[in-house]
Amino acid sequence: MNIWSLLIEALESLSANKMRSGLTMLGIVIGVAAVIAMLGIGTGTEESITSEIESIGTNLLYITSGGDATNPEPLTLADVSAMQNIELAPSVEFTAPIIQGRGDIVIPGESTTANIIGITPDYFNVQNADLAEGMQISQKQLDDFESVVILGSTTAEDLFGYTNQLVGETVRINGEIFKIIGVLEEQGGSHLTNMDEQVLVPLTSAKSRLMKRENPNEVDLIYAQARSADDVPQAEEEVSQILRSRHRSTLGEDDFDIMSTQTFLDMASTVTSTLTLFLGGVAGISLLVGGIGIMNIMLVTVVERTREIGLRKAMGARRSDILIQFLVESSFLSLGGGFIGIALGYMISFFIGQIASGSSITLNPVIQWNSILMATLFSAAVGLFFGIFPANRAASLEPVEALRTD
Amino acid sequence: MSNDWVVEANTLTKTYQMGEIEVHALRGLSMKIERGEVVSIMGPSGSGKSTLMNILGCLDRPSTGDYYLDRENVAYMNENQLAMIRNKKVGFVFQSFNLLPRSTAMSNVELPLRYASMSAGYRHRFAQEALESVGLANRLYHRPNELSGGQQQRVAIARAIVNNPSILMADEPTGNLDSKSGDEIMNLLLNLNKDRGTTLIIVTHDPEIADLTERVIYIRDGKVEMEK
């Protein structure tokens, strides 16, 4: 028997019972579609989270007070100055301390709440904070405790209803008058920390007028940017040394935390790949159920076609001829179902991506070639695996017995 | 002068195990059939007639004894060798035609040639010739449900002779046909024997059919009871 006539015969006998073949295939279609869609969504989530984290910049360190110590000493501006010392921290390029808190922003007739962030001019070197209009906060404004503010685009929109030509207007933040000197460009809603809902003020003004801290030099968070991504471990080590010696925690536990973008990336990819694996595994179970459906139908088919098998054997078909014939049929079901399933899974993940972007979540499902390849191979394997038992039963029929049945 | 025996069976026995009981279907049966002969095998049910037919057609092996088909001892062949012998040397015609219902007359007749791995071109030519020789030249691409009973049996006969077998086994070939088509089928088989020299073995319980053949072998209790 050559391959071509095998395929034609398999198609003929499958199309003899279209409804049954279709329903059997449906099991595989659903299984494969689920696997493809889940893997696509999982990988898409992973990629969008990764690219979001990477957009923050991969050579940034986040230093906060805390650590394992029971009574951590807060971070101060003196710590910042030490990190800015080129001899103590040669791998650190920029250091930007911030303090932050919630506050009410009010103009006559409108009010909103926003994240108020007290910054130094270096903030603009370590964060994506491009201005749609106006200018950055200068060293002079910082030194002079000036009451100036840069609005995030959402905050500006909420207050004024528009985001342009706001420079020169004033707002009240927690009752204090601040002059608008700039508006940030819209960043998009998908960022981990929503930059559009914040307002930037000079660190000095924030401390003196908006947020009281026990220690006047206290800061909430220090950004330290390494000179390059390769310098990140070195910069982390230098910052740790500075803080240990300054906080006299050399012998005890560190009373600070340093996180790098890499830490976030690692955390995120651990979570998302576990998620992807879990989703794929659950979908894989439905593929398995589809395979059992194939086995079931093939067993019924063998019983129904006992006489045909007997006849074929009488005409000289060997055991292997019959075995192959039934394996080709079950593979046809599973591979056919697999291909339809890949297409369906592609569409499902596309629609889910559309729905997600409708609710302003960036999610581009990524259908990788290897998941298509895997789905194809897996469905072929399902067809073969679950086909072997019925096919072997057919091939083992004694011709005399098989011809005798009605 | 040595005879050209196409079938030579010596003291065949066949024992089945039915639960705890041993059933002796054949008890030392011997027979010979010459090439080109037309033989009918008769016997009451339970005589071992079907068992004998299965063994002669290489669908089954005897428990003991030798069976030479075309001078080759097939009694000890394995399953695959038997499949090859059936493919090359035996043609079967069944009472219930046994055509593949979804395939055309043409591809039904091609079936044995496919298992012989013959190329499509030859297959087509031989199948067409076989169908023409049973008078179905204008029904090549009809499916079984578009053919009458007699025509279906003709397709089955074409399928049986397409590989040019040493013996053609016909098991009640007219059993499912009305008497007119039955006569036509018998004439066709006898003519094939005359024209092609195909050895014809007909298993039947119909004395009228047996009367048409040169030799009748009566089987009873697993042995040859008499010949005439």
Q: Which of A214, A248, A282 is the last residue of a domain?
A: A248
Residue of chain A whose alpha carbon sits nearest to that of B90: A315
Instruction: Quote the pLDDT of residue B187.
Output: 93
Radius of gyration of chain A (CA): 33
Contact B80 A314 (CB under 8 A): no
pLDDT tens by residue, chain B, 228 residues: 467 899 999 999 999 888 888 888 999 999 999 999 999 999 888 888 889 999 999 999 999 999 999 989 998 899 999 999 999 999 999 999 999 988 899 999 999 998 998 888 999 999 999 999 999 999 999 999 999 999 999 999 999 999 999 999 999 999 889 999 999 999 999 999 999 889 999 999 888 888 889 899 999 988 888 887
pLDDT tens by residue, chain A, 406 residues: 578 878 888 888 888 888 989 999 999 999 999 988 888 888 888 888 888 777 777 788 888 888 777 777 888 888 888 888 888 888 888 999 999 888 889 988 888 888 899 999 988 888 878 888 888 999 999 899 999 999 988 888 888 888 888 888 899 998 889 999 999 888 765 555 677 888 999 999 888 888 877 777 888 899 998 888 788 888 888 988 888 888 876 566 778 888 887 788 888 888 888 888 888 888 888 888 888 989 999 999 999 899 999 999 999 999 999 999 999 999 999 999 999 999 999 899 888 888 887 776 667 777 778 888 888 888 888 888 999 999 999 999 888 888 887 6
User: Which chain B residues are within 8 Å of A401, Cβ to Cβ?
Assistant: none
Instruction: For residue B99, give every residue at least 6 positions away whose Cβ sits within 8 Å of its Cβ, in sequence order, or none.
Output: B108, B144, B152, B155, B156, B159
- Is the domain of A92 the same as that of A157? yes
Q: How far apart are CA B15 and CA B66, in angstroms?
A: 15
Amino acid at site A57: G
Please spell the DSSP secondary structure of B140-165, one letter per residue: TT--GGGS-HHHHHHHHHHHHHTT--
Q: Which of A188, A214, A248 is the last residue of a domain?
A: A248
Tell me if A132 is assigned to some domain.
yes
Instruction: Quote the pLDDT of residue A406.
Output: 62
pTM of the predicted model over 0.80: no
- Is the domain of A37 the same as that of A164? no
Tell me if A63 is assigned to some domain.
no
Contact B102 A399 (CB under 8 A): no
Tell me if A374 is assigned to some domain.
yes
Q: How far apart are CA A173 and CA A110, in angstroms?
A: 12
Angle at A212 between CA A211 and CA A218, to 5 degrees: 100
Residue of chain A whose alpha carbon sits nearest to that of B160: A315
User: Which chain B residues are within 8 Å of A405, Cβ to Cβ?
Assistant: none
Residues A16, B102 contacting (CB under 8 angstroms): yes
- Is the domain of A319 the same as that of A286? yes
- Is the domain of A299 the same as that of A394? yes
Contact B115 A2 (CB under 8 A): no
Residues B196, B189 contacting (CB under 8 angstroms): no
Contact A316 B79 (CB under 8 A): no
Q: How far apart are CA B155 and CA B127, in angstroms?
A: 10
Interface probe with B: pick from A2, A315, A323, A328, most Cβ of B within 10 Å = A315
- End-to-end Cα separation, chain A, in angstroms: 27
Domain span at residue A285 reads 3-54+266-404
Using DSSP, state whether B136 is helix, strand or coil.
coil
Angle separating helix axes A18-56 and A319-358, nearest 10 degrees: 40
Which of B54, B83, B102 is facing A317, going by the closest CB pair?
B83
**Token representation of residue A81:** 């100055």
Instruction: Quote the pLDDT of residue B1.
Output: 45
- Is the domain of A271 the same as that of A244? no
**Token representation of residue A228:** 């390059």
Tell me if A194 is assigned to some domain.
yes
Q: Which residues pair with B73 in a beta bridge?
A: B68
CATH domain B5-227 topology: Rossmann fold (3.40.50)
Interfacial residues of A (vs B; Cβ cutoff 8 Å) = 1-2, 5, 12-13, 16, 307-308, 311-319, 321, 398-400, 403
- Is the domain of A96 the same as that of A239? yes
Tell me if A315 is assigned to some domain.
yes
Which of B59, B103, B163 is facing A399, going by the closest CB pair?
B59
- Is the domain of A270 the same as that of A198? no
- Is the domain of A172 the same as that of A272? no
Report how far Cα B166 is from the mean position of its chain's Cα atoms. 10
Q: Does the beta carbon of B112 lie under 8 angstroms from any beta carbon of chain A?
A: yes
- Is the domain of A43 the same as that of A175? no
Instruction: Quote the pLDDT of residue A192.
Output: 53
Residue of chain A whose alpha carbon sits nearest to that of B165: A315
Sheet-wide strand order for B72-73: B21-34, B5-18, B64-69, B72-73
Q: How far apart are CA B54 and CA B31, in angstroms?
A: 15
**ipTM greater than cut 0.90:** yes
Residues B193, B166 contacting (CB under 8 angstroms): no
Instruction: Quote the pLDDT of residue A1.
Output: 59
Contact A321 B115 (CB under 8 A): yes
Residues A387, A330 contacting (CB under 8 angstroms): yes
Tell me if A59 is assigned to some domain.
no
Instruction: Quote the pLDDT of residue B87.
Output: 94
Count of domains for chain A? 2
Q: How far apart are CA A232 and CA A312, in angstroms?
A: 73
Which of A13, A316, A403 is facing B83, going by the closest CB pair?
A316
Instruction: Quote the pLDDT of residue A299.
Output: 92
**Token representation of residue A199:** 């307002």
- Is the domain of A130 the same as that of A21? no
Q: How many CA atoms lie within 13 A of B188 on its CB side?
A: 28
Residues B221, B24 contacting (CB under 8 angstroms): no
Tell me if A65 is assigned to some domain.
no
- Is the domain of A116 the same as that of A186? yes
Contact A319 B60 (CB under 8 A): no
**Of the candidates A260, A228, A257, A219, the residue with the CA atom closest to the CA atom of residue A90:** A228
Contact A312 B88 (CB under 8 A): no
Instruction: Quote the pLDDT of residue B48.
Output: 87
Q: How far apart are CA A43 and CA A273, in angstroms?
A: 8
- Is the domain of A207 the same as that of A88? yes
Instruction: Quote the pLDDT of residue A166.
Output: 86
User: Which chain A residues are within 8 Å of B120, Cβ to Cβ?
Assistant: 2, 5
Instruction: Quote the pLDDT of residue B20.
Output: 87
User: Which chain B residues are within 8 Å of A316, Cβ to Cβ?
Assistant: 83-84, 86-88, 112, 115-116, 163
Secondary structure of chain A in HEC code, one letter for each residue: CCHHHHHHHHHHHHHCCHHHHHHHHHHHHHHHHHHHHHHHHHHHHHHHHHHHHHHHCCCEEEEEECCCCCCCCCEEHHHHHHHHCCCCCCCEEEEEEEEEEEEEEEECCEEEEEEEEEECCCHHHHCCCCEEEECCCCHHHHHCCCCEEEECHHHHHHHHCCCCCCCCCEEEECCEEEEEEEEECCCCCCCCCCHHHEEEEEHHHHHHHHCCCCCCCEECEEEEEECCHHHHHHHHHHHHHHHHHHHCCCCCCCCEEEEEHHHHHHHHHHHHHHHHHHHHHHHHHHHHHHHHHHHHHHHHHHHHCHHHHHHHHHCCCCHHHHHHHHHHHHHHHHHHHHHHHHHHHHHHHHHHHHHHHHCCCCCCCCCCHHHHHHHHHHHHHHHHHHHHHHHHHHHCCCHHHHHHCC
Q: How far A5 CA lies from chain B's nearest CA (Å)?
A: 8
